[in-house]
Amino acid sequence: VDPSYVFYPNALQNIKKYIPNPKFIIILRQPIERSYSHYLMSKARGYESLSFNEALLKENERLLNDNELFNFSNHSYIKRSRYYDLICKVKSEFKMSQILYLKFDDLKIFDHKKDMMKKIYKFLDLSFYHNFNYDIHENKSWTYRYKSINNIIYQKGLLRSFLKGIIPFENVRYKIINYINYLNSQEYIKDQDYLSNINDEFIKINNHECKLLLNDINFDINDWII
């Protein structure tokens, strides 16, 4: 479960090569909101020290000097929000019947969550049962409690290298790192006014992407246009 599948070069071709009949569930979010969420994640991991607007202005420069694809993963705030190009890549490799588009906003509304789940089950040819807890909210915005511990987890791979030397099982190492991260994290209260602090060019990019998408998806995104 990773949006990088439609973003990284050759990922779709590799999927097509190894999986005979894959199905893709693409959950779309307002482009600029997705960019901001991505920014908060990089900031929480200690990868970002700039303001949101400064980070957007510096993005192209960062992506040009990125031999190890670090910035491609962590600072591609606008590039990953250019959904239309990404969707065109998917459509060039797979049939429309293999793709289900969903609206991220529906995850926030209780009744809409049920409809989303039904659509997913139908798309995957699975029997649907009404036994889900729709109140669970995963993937909240977070920040670290102690920067020093956060640096050990995310920067230079120090903790990963240490654990690799003493624990041979990757899934065990992954669980240990996730647990340490959980203990060191706290919920981050988003800046609800972040749109007023960015350049107009980024608002225009958001609106342009929304207009490009209107003919490709089966739900209304006019409320994403600012």
Distance from C-alpha of 117 to C-alpha of 119, rounded to nearest angstrom: 5
pLDDT at 209: 95
Q: Is the model's pLDDT at 188 over the cut of 80?
A: no
Terminus-to-terminus CA distance in the chain, angstroms? 29
pLDDT tens digit sequence for 30-39: 999 999 999 9
pTM for the model? 0.81
Mean pLDDT value of segment 169-177: 84
State how far the Cα of 223 lies from the Cα of 226, in Å rounded to an integer.
8
Is 122 in contact with 128 (CB distance < 8 Å)?
yes
pLDDT (tens digit, 9 = 90+) per residue, 155-167?
Answer: 656 677 777 788 8
